[in-house]
Structure 1
Amino acid sequence: MSQGRPQAESAIRGSEWDERDLDHETFRRVLFVDVDLTEAIDRGSTFEECTFSQVRFNVSEHEDASFVNCVFTRCSLFDATFRGCKLTGSVFDGCTFGLLKAEGGDWSFAGLRGADLRGSVFRDVRLREADLSGARLEKAEVVRCDLSGAWLRRTDLTACDLRGSTLGEWDPQEATISGTRIDPAQAALVAASLGFDVR
């Protein structure tokens, strides 16, 4: 997981980028402040060790983009879509995520501690060792994801769909699991982790 805030080497402040197309652009150690990326289309761009502060990603679409070891502070990601994107080691602090969609890609080691991800969708996403402790995932879809080693302590998974996801050594007693949906194979693994003799 990213350690501390990246050191910015340049800054973009208050620029209106709504509906802007980003096509394989590269940004490294850039501080984005109060930038409007509403409805932006991003194809294959790379953001490395960048900091996003109060940036609006609302209804934006990102495909095969990379946000590696970035920090997102008080950003809005309402109805944003990430397809096949890499967000390894990125940290989200005080962000809003309503209707966020992630399809494929790698979010390993991402910091989503305490994030309000109610109703969000993660499908076929690698979330190995992601920090989801204290996150709210009520009625979210986390389907066919790799959650091996993910931190799920005090995570609210009420009515969350976890079917097909790799749960690793997850202890369901550390999370809220009322109405959480899992498949039969997962049920057997969970029962075994609780000490049941499954035959």
Structure 2
Amino acid sequence: MITDEDWYARDVSGCTYDGEAFVDLDWTEVTGDGAVFRECTFAGVRFNASRYRGTAFTNCTFRRCTFFDTRFDDCKVVGSLFPQSTFTLLEVNGGDWSFVALAGADLRKASFTDVRMREADLTNVRLEQARLTGTDLSGAALRGAKLTGADLRGSELSSLDPLTVELTGAKIGLEQAAVIATNLGLRVT
């Protein structure tokens, strides 16, 4: 267990951690290229202004963590959980976030571009004014999601039930409109 340390601006590129617990650490401006974190626990860690490229956080738990101005490029975050974490100005480009649990997360104005989020738990998530473009949401749990004003263009929306989410002002493409109409039981001809 690593506790109460200041890792400000540390470079964790190429590091590998298995089953490690990181508790109450400051990871402000930490960078990581190709690092691997498997089944690690992060509790009370501040990821502010940190940047990760090609890093894997598989089956990790992020409890009460802060993600302010955090960026993930082509990262693998499969099966990770984010209970009681906060997100402000989160940016995710590419990568695989399948099976993540973000239920109830406040992701307003977050950006997910070309991300695989298959079977992600996005129940009751707040995504107002967020950008989810080119994102694969196949099988994602979206019940109660607030997508007001979100940009969903190019995303896979077949599991979206328009009767269980808030979509006012969301941006979608014509093919997506047909998918949503079909999900409402309409026949598109």
What TM-score, normalized to structure 2? Answer: 0.99
Q: Does residue 149 of structure 2 align to residue 159 of structure 1?
A: yes
Query: 2:162 & 2:182 partners in 1: Cα distance?
Result: 11
1:76-121 deviations in whole A, cap 9, x for unaligned?
0011000000000000011110000000000000000000000000
Provide structure 1 residue ranges, at least 5 long, that are not aligned to the other structure.
Answer: 1-10
Show structure 1 runs of 4+ deviating over 6 A. none
1:142-167 deviations in whole A, cap 9, x for unaligned?
00000000000000000011000011
Matched residue, 2:25: 35
Matched residue, 1:128: 118
- Match of 1:189, SS state, is helix
Shift of 1:194: 1.1
One-letter amino acid of the structure 2 residue matched with residue 165 of structure 1:
S
RMSD: 0.7
Q: Does residue 181 of structure 2 align to residue 191 of structure 1?
A: yes
One-letter amino acid of the structure 2 residue matched with residue 74 of structure 1:
R
Matched residue, 1:98: 88
**1:58-69 → structure 2 map (5 Å cutoff):** 58-69=48-59
Matched residue, 2:133: 143
Shift of 1:172: 1.0
Query: 1:172 & 1:59 partners in 2: Cα distance?
Result: 35
- Match of 2:52, SS state, is strand
Query: 2:128 & 2:86 partners in 1: Cα distance?
Result: 15
One-letter amino acid of the structure 2 residue matched with residue 62 of structure 1:
Y
One-letter amino acid of the structure 2 residue matched with residue 55 of structure 1:
V
Query: 1:164 & 1:125 partners in 2: Cα distance?
Result: 11
Q: Does residue 2 of structure 2 align to residue 12 of structure 1?
A: yes
Query: 1:113 & 1:54 partners in 2: Cα distance?
Result: 18
1:138-192 deviations in whole A, cap 9, x for unaligned?
0000000000000000000000110000112321111011111110110011112
One-letter amino acid of the structure 2 residue matched with residue 141 of structure 1:
R
Contact map agreement 2:30 2:50 (CA 8 A) in 1: yes
Matched residue, 1:3: none
One-letter amino acid of the structure 2 residue matched with residue 158 of structure 1:
T
Q: Percent identity?
A: 48
